[in-house]
Structure 1
């Protein structure tokens, strides 16, 4: 009697998923660095609220305390790119946060424009380390070699901000962690 052999099903290797995410990130970066064409009224508070809803399960799994203070922050821009931008830096803040840490998300307006800021608890960072975080494929030494990302998240954030005539900045938090803030011109 012959032995029955099963044809092995092709398994999707975990690296395939990583490559897909990398390609998506590179395409987003390229799109962010080109001129925006779909300029529509967007409230950064609504976008941040939507992103937080999407991240809710991940935050709960990590026992993160989410503090959101979302005041109106009207801008004119590409809604998809702005959602990707906020999604990237909220994703970073969740990914590099401490378990049971705090995730702060704020939106509003100042004399400089409309802003969205995201802060998290985490490793203590020196001020001289901050600029590296915005460079493509560059991560801090404690993050290099991890499977947590490609080093494009904050590069995309800055590229989208620049495309919308704004800027992105980051500052280390007292006690560890990081706050990233994007400021864009207010909608007229």
Structure 2
């Protein structure tokens, strides 16, 4: 009798759990899955360099899930690559409004401002990304800040930032090259030679 009662109770419990899955929740689940599938496809198009296909696919996903920070970020990246900077800025800003602590977006927004010639804003957002301990690749942000300082003729500031980048990623070949260029601009030729040699040494790492 106890076994029968246990089986009945188990069946009753399972029945309650299954009853929680309503047609509405199942429909939402299917919609979420479609949005994610579209986002994955759009990302694959991006990786293949098929920007228009990627954009159209991601915008279709956006119609379903406009409040995804990741999705807004990816759309912003495509618009930036297409040179459509105003639209790119709109989607970067929305991504940060949805998820204020998103250093990858901050670094990429900094790159957009750099391309738009707004170097002070670029430095601001690169700095925010670099200082965020959630950011797994701060060397990119420091290298970017170094490039801007170099472009503004602030070679010592450029060197400081390139060295910060290398402290996070000691085999960053491109950064050694940039460091060498800044040293050369300051007529520090031996330091430039050393940096260029390191750039060559780590170019195959």
Same fold (TM over 0.5): no
Larger Rg belongs to: 2
Higher strand share: 1
* TM-score (norm. length: structure 2): 0.25
Higher helix share: 2
Higher relative contact order (CA 8 A, sep 6+): 1
* TM-score (norm. length: structure 1): 0.27
